[in-house]
Structure 1
């Protein structure tokens, strides 16, 4: 039996750093990923697709998001999509899966795993869902679903969502999925593959090769490790083969730079120039060091240029500590005299004293003098 394992579509997700031009592209990319998953499933002769939780960003998303999602899945009618409610879209009283926008337009090939009753999905294979019915479950839903199983001659794919205990620092969380129990059930032949969602990085868990996180098909944050994949699973009772397929197109890049010389600025510019498909790049930069006024002018122009090309551009506030101190060339270029010349030198010394409370104010004052001088030069 061959099928697609995916999770964490989070359709309807918004990001504060995306502007009004980038957010629609981000939204459409997530729908494009759904379409690509359907096409991949058809091309690979897969029997079905399992979506292991967080299909939608929440239960309160725009009705249009639901309609577009259903339309994307309906476009491949020969492929069935099995959707599992997760922590973002639990099967509670306000569930999007029970809304009129979903139930009234749901195509025949889209099914919701509403409970843990085994569902036959082909000759000799069953799906066992572990849906979230609230945002704060008080038990290990996946192993609870397995515990309720009766003996069967069918192969079983367990569809779950949540953190494995082997990855969580919070050992007291009652909803953690106990990996050891799953491995015991795999070893005994009670279950044959565990398809998980929640972790956005594609991950093979344990030693059996039968417990996987698919990861998010489009990235959502900087901390994810190689997201943008779905899994094509070839499953037999005595063997399994899992292949990654990339469908994601957006990228999150976060870099820390130490800046003191023109050569450092050259490296930053070369790296920014090297990024492909910039309108789908989300970049966060942290900058540390000490630079001159002329270097700061160059840096600002460089960052402004590339920010206009990117999907989003952020300054990594917690990792940014850039001191601007005019050097002798800056002072000579400004061509000040008398009181203004003496004041600039005094401000330069204060700006260089990083640990002094007045340093930031002095840096701002130096930058203001530079801007006023440039404006005065233009006016003349």
Structure 2
């Protein structure tokens, strides 16, 4: 048996903190991931794609979100097995009834905890969530599920095998040895947004399209091959379009900053990269202004999104900077006074540093070309 394991599509995610252009691209990429999975199924000779929960970001998505999802799944030859998760939990008269009304024959909604025979002798044991937070282990029912003539038993669930803190749900806890307890050949999990091996028979697929600054890896899915009595063969495949990168640069001058930029751009595709960059170090005031200017006027336009945090990048005016201001008389006197306050430290130093930087910026703008 060979199939694709996916999870955490979270279709309809709002991305409210981004500008409309960025938001539109990220939203569309989540739908495009469905087509990527469908094409991968055809290329791998796979008949089934199992999705371990959180197909939708909420249990009340817009009709357009549902129709887009169904339309994209329907045009591929594989069969889609959809499990309600904690974001899109199953309830009477809710989301999954709306999906049922529109779904094509190749889409199976697993809204009840009843085993289904996918192929002769190959059983899928689903653990749909009926509430956002469940106190009991949703996979405990696997022990009592009857699978007559089973040659392979595949569990499908959504929840936390371990405590992921703020990055994973603290409810919906799943026994770490569930595969052994319930005699499963494979346990396909969702909730954790990165591909993760728990043990030889238990995996998180991760999200097909990354949605936070957490890891360098783009979105993935897992191609799983099962044989009776053997440990599964699991191969990650890339599905994601965008990369969300976290970078911390310690820089002392413009040259060091430019070198970091060159390394970054040598390793990424800028239009599909979102970057949160933290800058730290002590440099000249002129270099600090030059670095931030390049980020704002060049790099920020090349990337899909750029978030810069430069509070720890200290710009100290050089004697040359002060002398350039000094020729202006009153500007020079103000610069000298502000620099003295910076040297003394204390609460006034932060304000003085900002004032001196602004003074230097305004002076630089007034310089003749």
Global fold match (TM > 0.5)? yes
Correspondence for 1:201 among 190, 194, 204: 194
Rounded Cα–Cα distance in structure 2 between residues aligned with 1:225 and 1:262: 26
Q: How does 1:203-222 map to 2 (within 5 A)?
A: 203-206=196-199, 209-222=200-213
1:36 is paired with a residue whose SS is: helix
- Contact 1:17–1:312 under 8 Å retained in 2: no
Q: Which moves more between the two structures, 251-260 or 11-20?
A: 11-20
* Aligned alpha-carbon RMSD (Å): 2.4
Residue 22 of structure 1 corresponds to 22
Counterparts of 2:253 and 2:103, CA distance in 1: 59
Q: CA deviation at 1:69?
A: 0.9
1:56 aligns with 2:46: no
Q: The residue matched to 1:21 in structure 2 has which SS?
A: helix
Identify if the C-alpha distance between structure 1 residues 335 and 275 changes in structure 2 by more than 3 Å, giving closer, same or farther: farther
Instruction: Indicate the SS of the match to 1:81.
Output: strand
1:335 deviates by 4.2
Aligned to 2:305: 312
Q: After alignment, is 274-283 or 133-142 more displaced?
A: 274-283
1:268 and 2:265 are equivalent in the alignment: no
Q: In structure 1, how many angstroms separate the alpha carbons of the residues matched to 2:171 and 2:261?
A: 48
Match of 1:223 among 207, 214, 218: 214
Map 1:1-380 → 2, pairs under 5 A: 1-76=1-76, 78-92=77-91, 95-99=94-98, 102-142=99-139, 144-150=140-146, 152-154=148-150, 155-165=152-162, 175-185=172-182, 190-206=183-199, 209-224=200-215, 226-239=217-230, 240-304=232-296, 305-316=298-309, 320-352=311-343, 356-377=346-367
TM-score after normalising by structure 2:
0.91
How far is 1:21 from its partner?
Answer: 1.2
1:214–1:230: 8 Å Cα contact kept in structure 2?
Answer: yes
Q: Which runs of 5+ in 2 are unaligned?
A: none
| Contact 1:87/1:132 (<8 A) preserved | yes
TM, length-normalised to structure 1: 0.89
Give the Å deviation of 1:286. Answer: 0.9
